[in-house]
Structure 1
């Protein structure tokens, strides 16, 4: 059973966990599982049952006591809640080693995304073909975003140009940015930036490793 979603705002931490719930549900569906319990879904998602139930409560009322969650129904509901019922078109800016890897990632389509354009500033890169796309010049960013109906931009640029590119992205009307550059971008309040700092995450792991070693 699924009720209408609550009017209350969904916390950012809950939104960040929804993709993990959706992945677990899709894995269950692929295995032919039609119903699941909160404990099973929570374990597959790496959270507690209490956290799972609290997160889902922000979206509505789910499941039937003694029966559990309907896998297909809940997956469809979370898909809509995440805005994935329609495909999102991406532009990747910065086609170095990381940009190449991002462009060649095979999981976009299954998760509701399509790479529409690749851009760079290097004369050695512009005009080459990567993952089936001809790399275009970043100076044409606004025109490319309009032409290809791009709704999200992935920044894989060096840090020293990331803010300038982000300004261009915002100026072209895009309000969602995934940032891989090691820089805190300054953007308007209505722009959402998700930053992936690989170095920073490794430093956090190093902290925990050092703390564990000190406790021995």
Structure 2
């Protein structure tokens, strides 16, 4: 497989392809064409072919892509073919929901530790994982070699929590707090702003 830096646009499209292909696999579909993928995903088929061809010759003319094979290749590209431990900070309602959802995902990306500042929650379990105090955060992250984190804390605490995570060695953060997190270090932060997304949708439903 070719080794080079993937553009951010391609990185964001590959999981979309993977999700669709996984659905096909569950439906026992063996092959799929770029045309079929494009129509379903609303992506130009030529773009799909270009994205995939950058990593190798995965398709066969007149037949399309072998679903199982392509799933394995995309997982390798995204480095999802190995165990990826994740830490979650914020054991509120959203933290519970994400932890429960993650527990039933058939994937190698797993929440392995949960933290919260509320002492009343410490020791209680979510999907078998005890909620730990924040003063154990750094040691746990380093012992378990965790590099990804999910933040589901109030906006007022998000920046501080992010800095604690980064100091402990975290390299990627999915932030659900309603505030953008900033850092000068080489850390990838994705801000999942549910409220802003709903507010944007509100505009379109009245068009």
TM-score normalized with structure 1 length: 0.88
**Secondary structure, aligned partner of 1:15:** helix
Structure 2 portions without partners, runs of 5+: none
Alignment partner of 1:16 is 2:12: yes
Change in CA separation of 1:107 and 1:139 when aligned onto 2, cut-off 3 Å: closer
Alignment partner of 1:95 is 2:87: no
Q: Distance in 2 between matches of 1:147 and 1:78?
A: 29
Q: CA deviation at 1:106?
A: 4.3
Q: 1:5 aligns with which of 2, 7, 10?
A: 2
Alignment partner of 1:73 is 2:69: yes
Q: CA deviation at 1:150?
A: 1.8
Structure 1 portions without partners, runs of 5+: none
- Contact 1:92/1:117 (8 A) holds in 2: yes
Q: Distance in 2 between matches of 1:194 and 1:108?
A: 23
Question: How far does the alpha carbon of each residue in 1:18-60 deviate from its partner, in whole angstroms, 9 at most, with x for none?
Answer: 1111122122222222221111122333423123123223333
- Contact 1:89/1:150 (8 A) holds in 2: yes
TM-score normalized with structure 2 length: 0.92
Quote the residue 2:24 is aligned against. Answer: 28
Q: Distance in 2 between matches of 1:94 and 1:75?
A: 32
Q: Distance in 2 between matches of 1:131 and 1:44?
A: 34
What is the aligned-residue RMSD (CA, Å)? 1.8
**Secondary structure, aligned partner of 1:194:** strand
Paired residues in the alignment total: 207
Quote the residue 2:136 is aligned against. Answer: 140
Q: CA deviation at 1:6?
A: 6.1
- Contact 2:86/2:149 (8 A) holds in 1: yes
Give matches, 1:143-162, under 5 Å: 143-162=139-158
